[in-house]
Amino acid sequence: MRHTISALVLNQPGVLARVAGLFSGRGFNIESLCVGETLDPSVSRMTIVTRGNDQIIEQITKQLNKLVDIIKVVDFFGNDYIDREMILIKVMAESSSRAEILRITDIFRGKIVDVTPKSYTIEVSGDENKIQAIIDLLKPMGIKEVVRTGKVAISRGSKGI
């Protein structure tokens, strides 16, 4: 099963290496990892997407909790949460396809963030299905490059982790 794990960590050098090393050293896989500062600049938040059976996920969360620099770990699996990913897509934009690309971008509430005579670069955010859907729609136009941020996730409701 696929799990989205959120971890509050001390914002100091080496923490990312510890987390990444924990995954590689124990043979766990990271599908995506997103890190950024929280409101408290001494604390960062990581959103890690990983895959494994119950036992592996239990080990992952326990091993993360064991790291001295990690303050809290929450597995969102089975809980109500929102996740988003942002993507930048550079797509070939010939005169014949420019209008179609604009229409698709509009439908997906995306933004054109860079234009050249031959290309558009589009920014879109959303859940995984939405991101996949726009990629599928733009593919026939000729996608040059794609950059994805990896997921960020937050629980629904007023309580924080």
Partner 1 sequence: MKKTGAQILLESLCLEGVDIIFGFPGGAVLGIYDELLNSPIRHILVRHEQAAVHAADGYARSSGKTGVCLVTSGPGATNTVTGIATAYMDSIPVVILTGQVSTGLIGNDAFQEADIMGITRPCTKHNYLVKDIKELARIIKEAFYIAGTGRPGPVLVDLPKDVIADSAEFNYPESLNMQSYNPTYRGHRGQIQKAFKLILKADRPLIYAGGGVISSNASEELTAFARTLAIPVTSTLMGLGCFPGVDELSLGMLGMHGTYRANMAVTNCDLLIAVGARFDDRVTGKTDEFAPNAKIIHIDIDPTSISKNIRVDIPIVGDAKDVLKKINKLIQEEKEDWTSIRREWLDQINEWKNTYPMTYEQRDVIKPQYVVEKIYELTRGKAIISTEVGQHQMWTAQYYLFTKPRTLLTSGGLGTMGYGFPAAIGAQIAFPEKTVIDIAGDGSIQMNIQELATVAQYNLPVKIAVLNNRCLGMPRQWQGLFYDKRYSNTCLEVSPDFVKLAEAYGAVGLRATKPEEVVPTIEKALSIPKAVIMDFVVEREEDVYPMVPAGAPLKEMLLV
CB of 78 to partner 1, least distance (A): 19
What is the residue whose two structure tokens read 């209008």? 99
Q: Does 39 bind partner 1 (CB under 8 A)?
A: no
C-beta closer to partner 1: residue 55 or 96: 55
In contact, 134 and 108? CB cutoff 8 Å = yes
CB of 20 to partner 1, least distance (A): 10
Task: At 57, list the tokens.
Answer: 């996920």
Q: Does 157 bind partner 1 (CB under 8 A)?
A: no
Q: Does 69 bind partner 1 (CB under 8 A)?
A: yes
Instruction: Please name the residues in contact with 122: beta carbons below 8 A apart, sequence gap of 6 or more.
Output: 88, 89, 91, 101, 105, 110, 111, 112, 113, 134, 138
Determine the Cα–Cα distance for residues 69 and 126; give it in Å rounded to an integer: 30
Q: Does 160 bind partner 1 (CB under 8 A)?
A: no
Residues that bind partner 1 (CB under 8 A): 9-10, 14, 17-18, 21, 25, 55, 58-59, 62-63, 65-66, 68-71
